[in-house]
């Protein structure tokens, strides 16, 4: 039995309404949890709100409310947003709760008793003086400020001198470094791991655990003139919620005995990858297994900050696309871990292409043929229908590879596995031409094809369940399936559906989205790879492009044009001819022998009557074009990704 899975999102500040940045992390955590449960693992998913600090006190005052009234109001916004997005958290932690306060006291007491390796107290008292930004809720360094002003909040930092308790962070950094290097403490993706290792090499100093000036927070148990520093308070949520101070059994299960994963964006890396493990080490508590820092989203090129910029309210998105599709669209825009710019007009195109066209159409075409030819009852399977073996062998691989992606925190890739299976199902449907079989009265063959398509839909209804739970439940009821077969194991078998069960589609599962708004959205089309997307490719389209390293073995000018060269290239396993518009920048002699990168899986095309079997990549700057050939050390035929 694998160990339980414990995943957390950051606890969000209550002085902001939820936007799709928060939704991104939360949907991802929900997806991972549901997927692990589908695979038979126990899972606990924590989210919540970070409610203390001067910012909250200021915002409450501005709203004419008490602090807790103000918090209650925003907590309500978050809970509603999560409900509308079908977020199935196991627990919602609020830092204003009693149980959380007890946990903060407990961890600070444990830290106060700790000694560093060289026998010093881990916690000590000292004076601190420095500029403080109440927006950031932190003391600032000169580097953080521009002319004494915090650029993030556009307000002057105040000069504050006060007594604080300090934590000897530096004493714990060598051990954290060791654990990062040995992968006992995994920081992902790799770029973020390097960033943390780089931070350790800098002199980041100790940090103070308490504040004297702040008025809205948790007073220290040993000195009530001081409140716990908001980050110490906030980070402790990850243990308070599972019983660190009040439920040892639960804590043993979900912390000591579980795979502990913190998800967040890269903005809060230092706190989670250095402060938090150091606090835990001092307190004698296990440190998390993994911190995964996903990318930062902008919207139409603009930042989503608390006060400025564009923000999309997830509830508005749900109104537009429904909960399931919103979840799907959020997680499929970018590889998890990479920054991305959300382009709102892409949502409609992608919804129509992936969900209405690819998935929705497969369901309705299959259900329709079963209704008209088999009285809405699932026909018998037929094992020797052409193409079935290939389809089955594709389907068999999907659950395993999707789950591997989930384990590696790649929700986008796990979802793509299932959508690719839908596409394979559609291709099978089109290739076998069941409408013709119906006309010709080849009932057995027709039944076999439709049975296989229903099996594909059954497998997809499991694989996409973690991302679109309600819609996949709808699909499962079309196939007369109940929850007893909703498991990853069940997705690994074929010929599971019982012939004769009712297959009935009353309403389209993914009705086409009305393209009313943008001119760009009007160009919506199937995911055929030929869509007019204002030059933009879908991720799926781009992922289909196979890039390879090739060597130019011969080149010559094409008569009647100054721009084109005809190139013979060596792709390692084969030789090909391509036509490239590089003649103004490279002579045939110059380009011969060069390593280039080509898109190798394009349909052959004729350019000026000359056949071209691929396209090379080049970059243009200041009117000059340069071949993309960074991979010049690699042998021809190497895949580029
Ligand atoms: O930092 N793109 O809370 P917060 C992607 N209370 N993710 C985004 C995002 C964006 N543009 N904007 C927000 C805090 N997020 C502290 C955390 S934890 C102990 C305390 C998500 O409300 C992302 O997960 O500013 C990011 O790390 C988090 O919201 C920051 O939330």
Q: For 471-489, what is each residue's pLDDT tens digit?
A: 999 999 999 999 999 999 9
Band of residue 542 on the pLDDT scale cut at 50, 70, 90: low
Q: For 411-461, what is each residue's pLDDT tens digit?
A: 999 999 999 999 999 999 999 999 999 999 999 999 999 999 999 999 999
Q: What is the DSSP letter of 204?
A: -
Q: What is the rounded distance in angstroms from the CA atom of residue 362 to the CA atom of residue 368?
A: 10
Q: What is the mean pLDDT of residues 620-630?
A: 73
List the residue whose alpha carbon is closest to atom 26 of ligand 1: 265
Give the model's pLDDT for residue 527.
31
Q: For 320-377, what is each residue's pLDDT tens digit?
A: 999 999 999 999 999 999 999 998 889 999 999 999 999 999 999 999 999 999 999 9
Q: How far is the CA of 602 from the centre of ligand 1 (A)?
A: 41
Is the CB of 16 inside a 6 Å radius of any atom of ligand 1?
yes
Give the chain's mean pLDDT: 90
Ligand 1, closest atom to CA 264? 24
557 within 8 A of 514, measured Cβ to Cβ: no
pLDDT at 467 over 90: yes
pLDDT at 252 over 70: yes
Q: Is 628 left (phi over 0), alpha (psi -120 to 50) or beta?
A: beta
Q: What is the rounded distance in angstroms from the CA atom of residue 522 to the CA atom of residue 581?
A: 31
Give the model's pLDDT for residue 538.
45
Is the CB of 291 inside a 6 Å radius of any atom of ligand 1?
no
Percent of the chain exceeding pLDDT 90 equals 69
List the residue whose alpha carbon is closest to atom 16 of ligand 1: 12
Residue 298: strand, helix, or coil: strand
Is the CB of 56 inside a 6 Å radius of any atom of ligand 1?
no
377 within 8 A of 500, measured Cβ to Cβ: yes
Percent of the chain exceeding pLDDT 70 equals 93
455 within 8 A of 495, measured Cβ to Cβ: yes
Ligand 1, closest atom to CA 13? 22
Q: What is the mean pLDDT of residues 98-124?
A: 97
Band of residue 216 on the pLDDT scale cut at 50, 70, 90: very high
Q: How far is the CA of 271 from the centre of ligand 1 (A)?
A: 12
Is the CB of 25 inside a 6 Å radius of any atom of ligand 1?
yes
Q: How far is the CA of 290 from the centre of ligand 1 (A)?
A: 17
Ligand 1, closest atom to CA 276? 19
Give the model's pLDDT for residue 325.
98
pLDDT at 310 over 90: no
Give the model's pLDDT for residue 625.
79
11 within 8 A of 95, measured Cβ to Cβ: yes
Q: What global pTM score does this model have?
A: 0.80
pLDDT at 533 over 50: no
Q: How far is the CA of 12 from the centre of ligand 1 (A)?
A: 6
Q: Tell me which of 9, 25, 275, 337 to substitute to probe ligand 1's pocket, judged by most ligand atoms within 8 Å of the beta carbon.
A: 25
List the residue whose alpha carbon is closest to atom 13 of ligand 1: 21
Is the CB of 45 inside a 6 Å radius of any atom of ligand 1?
no
Q: What is the rounded distance in angstroms from the CA atom of residue 289 to the CA atom of residue 3?
A: 12
pLDDT at 135 over 80: no
Q: For 168-180, what is each residue's pLDDT tens digit?
A: 999 999 999 999 9
Q: What is the rounded distance in angstroms from the CA atom of residue 208 to the CA atom of residue 197?
A: 22
Q: How far is the CA of 107 from the centre of ligand 1 (A)?
A: 24
pLDDT at 242 over 90: yes
Residues near 52 by beta carbon (within 8 Å), at least 6 away in sequence: 95, 96, 214, 216, 217, 218, 227, 228, 230, 233, 234
Q: For 297-309, what is each residue's pLDDT tens digit?
A: 999 888 886 655 6
Question: What string of DSSP letters covers 504-565?
Answer: --SS-SSPPPP--S-TTGGG---SSS----TTPPPHHHHHH--EEEEEEEEEEEPTT-SS-E
Q: How far is the CA of 449 from the centre of ligand 1 (A)?
A: 48
Ligand 1, closest atom to CA 296? 2
Looking at the DSSP assignment, which residues form a beta bridge with residue 449?
Answer: none
Give the model's pLDDT for residue 154.
86
List the residue whose alpha carbon is closest to atom 24 of ligand 1: 264
Q: Tell me which of 21, 107, 274 to substitute to probe ligand 1's pocket, judged by most ligand atoms within 8 Å of the beta carbon.
A: 21
Q: Tell me which of 9, 10, 81, 272 to substitute to probe ligand 1's pocket, judged by most ligand atoms within 8 Å of the beta carbon.
A: 10
Q: What is the DSSP letter of 580?
A: E
Ligand 1, closest atom to CA 306? 25
Is the CB of 20 inside a 6 Å radius of any atom of ligand 1?
no
Give the model's pLDDT for residue 535.
36
Catalytic residues: 19, 22, 133, 136, 150, 153, 303, 306
β-strands 5-13, 43-50 pairing? parallel
């Amino acid at each position: 039995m694998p160990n339980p899975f414990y995943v957390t999102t950051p606890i969000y500040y209550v002085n902001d309404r939820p936007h799709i940045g928060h939704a991104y992390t939360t949907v991802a955590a929900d997806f991972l949890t549901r997927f692990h449960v589908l695979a038979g693992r126990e899972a606990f998913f924590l989210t919540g709100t970070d409610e203390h600090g001067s910012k909250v006190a200021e915002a409450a005052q501005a709203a004419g409310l008490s602090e807790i009234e103000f918090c209650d109001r925003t907590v309500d916004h978050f809970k509603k947003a999560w409900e509308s997005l079908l977020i199935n958290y196991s627990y919602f932690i609020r830092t204003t709760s009693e149980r959380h306060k007890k946990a903060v006291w407990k961890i600070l007491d444990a830290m106060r008793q700790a000694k560093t390796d060289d026998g010093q107290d881990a916690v000590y008292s000292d004076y601190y003086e420095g500029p403080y930004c109440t927006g950031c809720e932190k003391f600032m360094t000169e580097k953080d400020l521009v002319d004494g002003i915090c650029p993030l909040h556009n307000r002057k930092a105040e000069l504050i001198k006060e007594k604080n308790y300090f934590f000897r962070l530096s004493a714990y950094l060598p051990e954290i470094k060791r654990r990062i290097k040995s992968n006992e403490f995994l920081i992902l993706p790799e770029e973020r791991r390097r960033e943390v290792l780089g931070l350790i090499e800098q002199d980041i100093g100790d940090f103070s655990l308490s504040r004297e000036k702040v008025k809205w927070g948790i007073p220290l148990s040993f000195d009530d003139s001081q409140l716990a520093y908001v980050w110490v308070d906030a980070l402790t949520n990850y243990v308070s919620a599972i019983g660190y101070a009040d439920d040892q059994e639960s804590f043993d299960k979900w912390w000591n005995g579980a795979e502990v994963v913190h998800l967040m964006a890269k903005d809060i890396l230092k706190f989670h990858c250095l402060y938090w493990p150091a606090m835990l080490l001092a307190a004698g508590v296990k440190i998390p297994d993994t911190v995964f820092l996903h990318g930062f989203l902008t919207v139409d090129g603009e930042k989503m900050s608390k006060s400025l910029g564009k923000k999309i309210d997830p509830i508005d998105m749900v109104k537009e696309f429904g909960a399931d599709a919103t979840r799907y669209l959020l997680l499929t825009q970018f590889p998890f871990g990479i920054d991305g710019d959300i382009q709102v007009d892409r949502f409609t195109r992608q919804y129509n292409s992936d969900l209405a066209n690819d998935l929705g159409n497969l369901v309705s075409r299959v259900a329709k043929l079963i209704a008209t030819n088999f009285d809405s009852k699932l026909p018998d399977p037929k094992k020797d229908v052409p193409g079935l073996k290939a389809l089955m062998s594709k389907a068999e691989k999907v659950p395993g590879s999707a789950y591997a992606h989930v384990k590696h925190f790649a929700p986008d890739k796990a979802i793509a596995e299932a959508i690719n299976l839908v596409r394979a199902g559609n291709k099978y449907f089109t290739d076998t031409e069941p409408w013709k079989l119906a006309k010709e009265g080849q009932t057995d063959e027709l039944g076999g094809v439709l049975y296989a398509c229903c099996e594909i839909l059954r497998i997809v209804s499991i694989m996409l369940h973690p991302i679109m739970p309600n819609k996949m439940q709808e699909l499962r009821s079309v196939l007369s399936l109940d929850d007893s077969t909703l498991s990853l194991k069940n997705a690994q078998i074929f010929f599971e559906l019982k012939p004769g069960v009712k297959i009935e589609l009353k309403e389209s599962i993914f009705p086409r989205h009305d393209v009313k708004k943008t001119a760009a959205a009007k160009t919506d089309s199937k995911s055929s790879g030929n869509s007019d997307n204002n030059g933009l490719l879908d991720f799926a389209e781009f992922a289909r492009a196979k890039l390879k390293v090739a060597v130019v073995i011969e080149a010559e000018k094409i008569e009647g044009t100054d721009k084109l060269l005809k190139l013979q290239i060596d792709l390692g396993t084969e030789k090909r001819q391509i036509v490239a518009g590089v003649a103004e920048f490279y002579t045939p002699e110059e380009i011969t022998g060069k390593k280039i990168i080509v898109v190798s899986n394009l349909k052959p095309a004729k350019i000026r009557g000359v056949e071209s079997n691929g396209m090379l990549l080049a970059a243009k700057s200041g009117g000059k074009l340069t071949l993309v050939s960074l991979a010049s050390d690699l042998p021809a035929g190497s895949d580029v990704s």
